[in-house]
A and B are shown apart, each in its own frame.
Chain A
């Protein structure tokens, strides 16, 4: 532990003391103007048939940050995250209103191809879902599908390294992916996403099916990946949000007069704010575990 040099206390100044910068100002939502915005969500709503799952959500996601969505079950956080890569399109009865601006372009615009969107915005799911193929073929699937056939070996290695899995599997790339442990499978799924070199990584409860050690490994990975990717995660474990996220959004369920349950965004702020002094009492109730 280094100590600054002992000060000479001869009648005068306390020299040798570097006036360290005061605490970095914690950016509030209003002061976050200087952070680059990646997604600008405007009045987003999602309905499945007659059921309104999510209503009136507006927020910004910032580049190279980890943003977490927390909230009780049924609050629409999984529905919301699936809006960012148009995965809700796969559900026949789903209808999305509002806009999601990505680099200024609306993801739900008329000329936008969902397939192209998904090449830039990848997703990792709650239960690890490796394909029933070899480890190599799993990671190579994305590039092959996108027509990136050159230097496939290098791509696969790069992706596996980024996912902190390379050392464990480099000698058994041809083995069936399902022979890996749960934590390894999830990292494989992350590697699979990274192989197509996306901009954004969406993670829908990525560690909820994993044991604590694997969970910690995934959390460390998120921390490392943050510098190259923008990460959005859904988690029902709010302590996880506390550990990994820079920004946290709290969703809750609004019960309408007709008894319909709709998800709404209650509060969105720096994680430290949410966990030390949330503005809304519903947020407070949730993070303290009193209800929700």
Chain B
């Protein structure tokens, strides 16, 4: 029944997952460029964002047509809306990668602090993991998997705070100040990527349960139903 519709839905979801891998690739490129101060790679990441944007627009267009022509309801509707929401999140993550790459370029001529770079390696790895988990849980409609993102995000947040402290500790080294400030922004980008991944996870819960519930919220740390 409704084979065309089912094919469209499956195709849409496949496109979304593919967009996810593209974005992951972009992230890896950005982190690698950051760690090795590789300007060429950074340029590639920036150029590659066009690909991410193209996918983003394509998915939006597909969703528009799907809603107009197939009038999905119930689970189908939630799935489509979930993908619509996550599509934006992925695009944002892509933008964060670009920002990281741009900062890499800006600071390529500056000295670095090994400890901070190692911190980013860890944080970056975490964020990659989070995106993977988010995409996988969405594909499998795994709410528990999605929930686990909260803990992972906590680790990134801690990492972010550590970076801030370490940069403040650099106050005594004026030559490092510019680099330090830039790295705070980089840290912020990675932290934002983590938040976006959690958002993707929340959509998994929405698609399955039909309720939108934030996993954690600043004002209600135990989770608040909206």
* Contact yes or no, A14 B29, CB < 8 A: yes
A6 and B71 alpha carbons, distance in the complex (Å): 36
A222 and B170 alpha carbons, distance in the complex (Å): 71
**B168 close to chain A: CB less than 8 A:** no
A54 and B41 alpha carbons, distance in the complex (Å): 65
* Contact yes or no, A22 B5, CB < 8 A: no
Q: In the complex, which of the residues A1, A11, A223, A244 contacts B14, with contact meaning CB atoms closer than 8 Å?
A: A1
* Contact yes or no, A14 B44, CB < 8 A: yes
* Contact yes or no, B58 A213, CB < 8 A: no
Residue from A4, A14, A17 whose CB has the most chain B CB atoms within 10 Å: A14
Bitwise interface map of B from 1 to 36 toward A, beta carbon under 8 Å scored 1, else 0 = 111110000000010011001100110110111001
Majority secondary structure of chain B interface residues (helix, strand, loop or mixed): helix
Determine the chain A residues whose CB is within 8 A of the CB of B151 once the complex forms: none
Determine the chain A residues whose CB is within 8 A of the CB of B36 once the complex forms: 11
A239 and B72 alpha carbons, distance in the complex (Å): 11
**A30 close to chain B: CB less than 8 A:** no
Q: In the complex, which of the residues B1, B40, B65 contacts A12, with contact meaning CB atoms closer than 8 Å?
A: B40
A271 and B48 alpha carbons, distance in the complex (Å): 33
Q: In the complex, which of the residues B5, B40, B48, B64 contacts A11, with contact meaning CB atoms closer than 8 Å?
A: B40
Determine the chain A residues whose CB is within 8 A of the CB of B1 once the complex forms: 213, 216-217, 220
Determine the chain A residues whose CB is within 8 A of the CB of B32 once the complex forms: 9-11
Bitwise interface map of A from 267 to 279 toward B, beta carbon under 8 Å scored 1, else 0 = 0000110011000
* Contact yes or no, A220 B2, CB < 8 A: yes
A10 and B35 alpha carbons, distance in the complex (Å): 11
**B51 close to chain A: CB less than 8 A:** yes
Determine the chain B residues whose CB is within 8 A of the CB of A10 once the complex forms: 32
Docked complex: A1-57 residues within 8 A CB-CB of B? 1, 3-4, 6-7, 9-14, 16-17, 19, 22-23
Determine the chain B residues whose CB is within 8 A of the CB of A23 once the complex forms: 57-58, 61
The closest CB in chain B to the CB of A239 belongs to B71
Given contacts A7-B28, A11-B41, A14-B44, contact A271 B2 (CB under 8 A): no
Q: In the complex, which of the residues B4, B45, B61, B64 contacts A223, with contact meaning CB atoms closer than 8 Å?
A: B4
A19 and B70 alpha carbons, distance in the complex (Å): 29
* Contact yes or no, B2 A219, CB < 8 A: yes
A273 and B23 alpha carbons, distance in the complex (Å): 30
* Contact yes or no, B51 A17, CB < 8 A: yes
Residue from B2, B31, B32, B69 whose CB has the most chain A CB atoms within 10 Å: B69
Bitwise interface map of B from 174 to 207 toward A, beta carbon under 8 Å scored 1, else 0 = 0000000000000000000000000000000000
**A144 close to chain B: CB less than 8 A:** no
A73 and B29 alpha carbons, distance in the complex (Å): 59
Given contacts A217-B1, A271-B69, A276-B68, contact A9 B41 (CB under 8 A): yes
* Contact yes or no, A12 B41, CB < 8 A: yes
Determine the chain B residues whose CB is within 8 A of the CB of A12 once the complex forms: 40-41, 44
**A161 close to chain B: CB less than 8 A:** no
A257 and B1 alpha carbons, distance in the complex (Å): 48
The closest CB in chain B to the CB of A224 belongs to B3
A157 and B48 alpha carbons, distance in the complex (Å): 55
The closest CB in chain B to the CB of A287 belongs to B68
Q: How far is the CB of B74 from chain A (nearest CB, A)?
A: 14
* Contact yes or no, A3 B4, CB < 8 A: no
Residue from B29, B31, B139 whose CB has the most chain A CB atoms within 10 Å: B29
Residue from A1, A9, A219 whose CB has the most chain B CB atoms within 10 Å: A9
Q: Can you offer 18 A-B residue contacts whose CB atoms are under 8 A? A: A1-B17, A3-B18, A6-B28, A7-B25, A12-B44, A13-B44, A17-B48, A19-B51, A22-B54, A23-B61, A213-B1, A216-B1, A220-B1, A220-B4, A244-B4, A271-B69, A275-B69, A276-B64
The 4 closest A-B pairs by CB, nearest first: A242-B69, A275-B68, A9-B32, A9-B28
| Residue positions of B touching A, CB distance < 8 A | 1-5, 14, 17-18, 21-22, 25-26, 28-29, 31-33, 36, 38, 40-41, 44-45, 48, 51, 54, 57-58, 61, 64-65, 68-71, 139
Besides A1-B139, A242-B68, 13 other A-B contacts (C-beta < 8 A):
A1-B14, A6-B25, A10-B32, A11-B36, A12-B41, A14-B48, A19-B51, A217-B1, A220-B4, A243-B2, A272-B68, A275-B65, A275-B69
